[in-house]
Structure 1
Amino acid sequence: MPQSRPLSLITGASAGIGAAFARELAARGHDLVLTARRTERLEALAEELRGKHHCQVTVLPADLADPAAPQQLQQALAERKLAVDWLINNAGYGLPGTFEANAWEDHAAFIQVLMTAPTELAWRVLPGMRERGYGRIVNVASLAGHVPGTAGHTLYGASKAYMIKFSQSLALENRHLGVHVCALCPGFTWSEFHDVTGTRELMNQMPRFMWQTAEDVVREGCDAAERGDIVRVTGRVNRFIKSLVKLMPDRMGLWLSARESRRYRHAAPQ
């Protein structure tokens, strides 16, 4: 069983799905460790949650593009004698444009944040979870990891497919020890994600029924992690899309992907 108040470490907690996880888990009685690059936002969120839910919130600013960040976070937790019960690997962003249009340094940072850092953080907190016989790891993946790749945002779907497969293997290795691992796969979610990537105007062309709120995504994710679901695609529309794509021949799926990329992927070929 977890500590009297489970402790959740949330990456990318300053906005969007990460901030929604912080609010939801605080409401469920968790203490929190919040990490992201934007210290002021983290401190404001921490103050809000302490006042509303009377929980302990520790702010540890970090840039996961720095390869040293996961180990530094682990050291900071150890110094404070904090044991992580829930790890929410949420930090992420999009890198618009085609593969050759971006510098390798940008691709390398992207891979570090979306693949290497969450994998290392799981490796660092897992031994404690196994020893205590309780743990929850939620890897925020995406519907993009289930559907064919797109022209533009070249590494995004690939990174999310990796997180899904990684979660599946990690879940099978640890489920007999009380550790649940879940790949959470939202589709289009209302947040500042598309503002940061400069694709908000394109995204606004998508039908409203395609979108979910971050709060809805997070509630599904928390419930799925508690149940022991290994993969959770959020929202009926997204689950329908995933099922439909699985039934399609690869050639048809890629044709549809190429057609739709022109609508919502920045710098995709016309």
Structure 2
Amino acid sequence: MTKARPLSLITGASAGIGSAFARALAARAHDVVLTARRTDRLEALADELRGQHGVNATVLTNDLADPHGVEQLCAALDERGLQVDWLVNNAGYGVPGRFDQNDWPVHADFLRVLVTAPTELAWRLISGMRERGYGRIVNVASLAGHVPGSAGHTLYAASKAYMIKFSQSLALENLGIGVNVCALCPGFTYSEFHDVTGTRALVSKMPGFMWQRADDVVREGIDAVERGDAVHVTGRFNRTVKSLFKLMPDRMALRMSAKQSKRYRAQDAE
């Protein structure tokens, strides 16, 4: 690498796991590009990172639900001469309620943000990583991608399962050339996610041992991608859950998922 500092692009950087990634990478002397829809939050975070770590922090407000959002984001990077070494595909949210009770544009936007945009960003940026012989891609997936789907939030687990398989294939395609790809799979994480989906009251009933702090998730994720792990499930509890579901017969696993999902998924739109 010829640059003084690596450059990290973090999507969904305005809160939660995204802002935790930005802080952790800036603390490791990475310059950062922060993107999300909320400019005020991004600017506040950028000021914090410049002041605490002396790094360059660039804010590029962007809506990945826009079909041209990724193209516009990459054009903005090119205009500034910014070459991305670390891509953290973190942007995401949930759509509560039953599948048919939401309008199709709601689902279309969701799929663009959680599936199409991270895939396109990886496609647009990985060639430069390969040419330079160095790169890291962290696709923030979920424990939900390893267990049976739930009633309500219909597309969420499906999108995360896609990101896991996509990350595995991309990791295999880039073995031994200095480009590592990892699907990071947290479980319940303290963030705004459940406030946005309207399930805070439900998930607040979950016991504390099921939860992780965002900075702990991020620390595990950085270590995992540096090791070259194609998939990493964070936390001992979450790894146990994954293993148990893997051993169960499909019918039993689906019945258990149906029972447990009532505890934390909004299944019917009001």
TM surpasses 0.5: yes
Letter in 1 for 2:160: K
**CA offset at residue 176 of structure 1?**
2.2
C-alpha separation between the residues in 1 aligned to 2:23 and 2:161? Answer: 27
Match of 1:94, SS state, is coil
TM-score by length of 1: 0.98
TM-score by length of 2: 0.98
Structure 2 equivalent of residue 113 of structure 1: 113
The answer to whether structure 1 residue 99 and structure 2 residue 103 are counterparts is no
**CA offset at residue 92 of structure 1?**
0.1
C-alpha separation between the residues in 2 aligned to 1:36 and 1:108? Answer: 18
C-alpha separation between the residues in 1 aligned to 2:4 and 2:126? Answer: 19
The CA RMSD over aligned residues, in Å, is 1.0
For residues 3 and 137 of structure 1, do their structure 2 counterparts lie closer, same or farther at Cα, with a shift above 3 Å needed? same
Equivalent residue pairs, number: 269
C-alpha separation between the residues in 2 aligned to 1:141 and 1:134? Answer: 22
Q: Which moved more, 1:73-82 or 1:158-167?
A: 73-82
- CA distances 1:87-112 after superposition (whole Å, capped 9, x unpaired): 00000000000100100000000000
**CA offset at residue 3 of structure 1?**
2.7
Structure 2 equivalent of residue 37 of structure 1: 37
Structure 2 equivalent of residue 177 of structure 1: 177
Structure 1 equivalent of residue 12 of structure 2: 12
Greater than 3 Å deviation, 4+ residue runs:
none
**CA offset at residue 261 of structure 1?**
1.5
Structure 2 equivalent of residue 135 of structure 1: 135
Match of 2:26, SS state, is helix
Unmatched 5+ stretches in structure 2: none
Letter in 2 for 1:261: S
**CA offset at residue 264 of structure 1?**
1.2
- CA distances 1:100-127 after superposition (whole Å, capped 9, x unpaired): 0100000000000000000000000011
Structure 2 equivalent of residue 168 of structure 1: 168
Q: Which moved more, 1:72-81 or 1:14-23?
A: 72-81
C-alpha separation between the residues in 2 aligned to 1:268 and 1:227? Answer: 41
The answer to whether structure 1 residue 63 and structure 2 residue 71 are counterparts is no
Match of 1:118, SS state, is helix
Q: Is the 8 A contact 1:115 1:162 kept in 2?
A: yes
C-alpha separation between the residues in 2 aligned to 1:49 and 1:63? Answer: 22
**CA offset at residue 4 of structure 1?**
2.2
Structure 1 equivalent of residue 231 of structure 2: 231
Structure 2 equivalent of residue 265 of structure 1: 265
Q: Is the 8 A contact 1:2 1:135 kept in 2?
A: no
What does 1:64-83 correspond to in 2, within 5 Å? 64-83=64-83
C-alpha separation between the residues in 2 aligned to 1:268 and 1:189? Answer: 23
Letter in 1 for 2:51: G
- Residue identity (%): 73
Unmatched 5+ stretches in structure 1: none
Structure 2 equivalent of residue 217 of structure 1: 217
Letter in 1 for 2:57: V
- CA distances 1:158-207 after superposition (whole Å, capped 9, x unpaired): 00000000000000001222100000000000000000000000000111
**CA offset at residue 267 of structure 1?**
2.2
Match of 2:262, SS state, is helix
The answer to whether structure 1 residue 147 and structure 2 residue 147 are counterparts is yes
**CA offset at residue 262 of structure 1?**
1.5
For residues 48 and 242 of structure 1, do their structure 2 counterparts lie closer, same or farther at Cα, with a shift above 3 Å needed? same
- CA distances 1:22-45 after superposition (whole Å, capped 9, x unpaired): 000000110000000000000000
Q: Is the 8 A contact 1:2 1:134 kept in 2?
A: no
